[in-house]
Structure 1
Amino acid sequence: MALWDRLKESASTMQTQLMAKKNELTSGAFRDASMAMCALVAAADGTIDPAERQRVAQLIATNDVLRNFAADDLQRRFEANLDKLTADFAFGKVSVMQEIAKARKKPAEARAVIQIGIVIGGADGDFDKTEQAVVREACYTLDLPPHEFDL
């Protein structure tokens, strides 16, 4: 199977798993961690262009799992995390990882945050090495084994 097909299949599988747990994913910790993850994946290469920012914002607004939360609140949190990362990536990353760590206490939420990162990373058809690396790092932050997610 081609890499592109595996990526699409993996993102689709992750979205299906997220939908199965949608009713469990309603806490503020999950909301904060998932928006931090979206920003981290979007800015994984240290920059984010307006088109990428818009694409990720659109994915957030249309993701069924995230509909448990107000879209404008999610957008505000995503943008705030992006601002931290674009101002100073290394320093911003520390703050964003602290947000992601909020989901550590609930394994289902922690896994869902990683799955959202994979869905966002694979949305453009190219879950590249820098995106995989930040999602892998988030796995360690959440005390999850990266191999569970093929990272």
Structure 2
Amino acid sequence: MALWDRLKESARTMQTGLGARRDELRGGAFREASMAMCALVAAADGTVDPAERRRVSYLIEHNEVLGNFPADELGRRFGEWLDRLAADPREGKESALREIAKVRRKPVEARAVIQIGIVVGGSDGHFDLTERAVVAEACHALDLPPHEFDL
């Protein structure tokens, strides 16, 4: 099976698993960590093009788990994270990883944040090395082994 087919199947499986745990994913820390992760992945290559913004906006509006939160609020928070990353990439990234690390002690939320990062990274049909690397960094911030997510 081609890498992209495996990635699509993995994302589908993750979405199903996230949907089953939707009621456990309602906290503010999860909301912030998810949007920080979306921004990190979208900006992984150093730029965020309009297509990436549209893909994340689509995810925000249609993802079953993120549906726990108002889409306009998530969109605003995603934009704020992108602004931080654009203003100072190094500090923005460190800040986003600190925000993500806040869900470290909540395993369901921690894994869901990683899964959302993978879904965002693969949403364009190509989960590239820079996207994989930033999701792996988030795994380390959450004390999760990257290999658990095929990273």
For 2:37, the equivalent position in structure 1 comes to: 37
Q: Which residue is equivalent to 1:140?
A: 140
**Distance in structure 2 (CA, Å) of the matches to 1:119 and 1:95:** 22
| Matched residue type, 1:116 | I
- Structure 1 Cα separation of the partners of residues 90 and 4 of structure 2: 30
> In structure 2, what is the equivalent of residue 81 of structure 1?
81
RMSD: 0.9
Match of 1:68 in 2: 68
Contact 2:55 2:120 in 1 (8 A): no
| TM-score, with structure 2 as normaliser | 0.97
Structure 1 residue 72 displacement after superposition: 1.0
Q: Which amino acid aligns with 1:20?
A: A
Using the size of structure 1 for normalisation, the TM-score is: 0.97
Q: In the comparison of the two structures, how many residue pairs are matched?
A: 151
Q: What is the one-letter code of the residue matched to 1:15?
A: Q
Residue 124 of structure 1: CA displacement? 1.0
Q: Percent identity among equivalent residues?
A: 72
Query: Is there any run of 5+ residues in structure 1 with no aligned partner, and where?
Result: none
Q: Structure 1 stretches (4+) deviating beyond 4 angstroms?
A: none
State how far apart, in whole Å, the 1-side matches of 2:72 and 2:56 are. Answer: 14
Counterparts of 1:122-137 in structure 2, within 5 Å, are 122-137=122-137
Structure 2: where are the runs of 5+ without partners? none
Query: Which amino acid letter does the alignment assign opposite residue 25 of structure 1?
Result: L
